[in-house]
Amino acid sequence: MSPTDDAIARHNAKLRADLDDLADIIDAADAMPTRALAEAARVLRYGAVKHGCEPHEPGGGQTPRDHLDHAAEHLRRAMARLSNRDAETGALDLIHCAARCLLAAELVLEEVD
pLDDT digits (tens, 9 = 90+) for 11-42: 677 778 777 878 888 888 888 888 999 999 99
Task: Read off the pTM.
Answer: 0.77
How confident is the model over 48-95, as pLDDT tens digits?
A: 888 888 877 776 788 999 999 999 999 999 999 999 999 999 999 999
Distance between CA atoms of residues 50 and 34, nearest Å: 24
Q: What pLDDT is stored for residue 78 in this prediction?
A: 98
| Integer Cα distance of 9 and 50 in angstroms | 41
Which residues does residue 92 pair with via DSSP β-bridges, in sequence order? Answer: 85
Q: Which residue has the higher pLDDT, 17 or 1?
A: 17
Predicted pLDDT at 67: 95
Q: What is the mean pLDDT of the segment spanning 89-105?
A: 96
Higher pLDDT, 44 or 30: 44
**Which residue, 80, 113, 104, 109, is CA-closest to 94?**
80
Q: Give residue 59's pLDDT.
A: 66
pLDDT for 16 equals: 80
Contact 43, 96 (CB under 8 A): yes
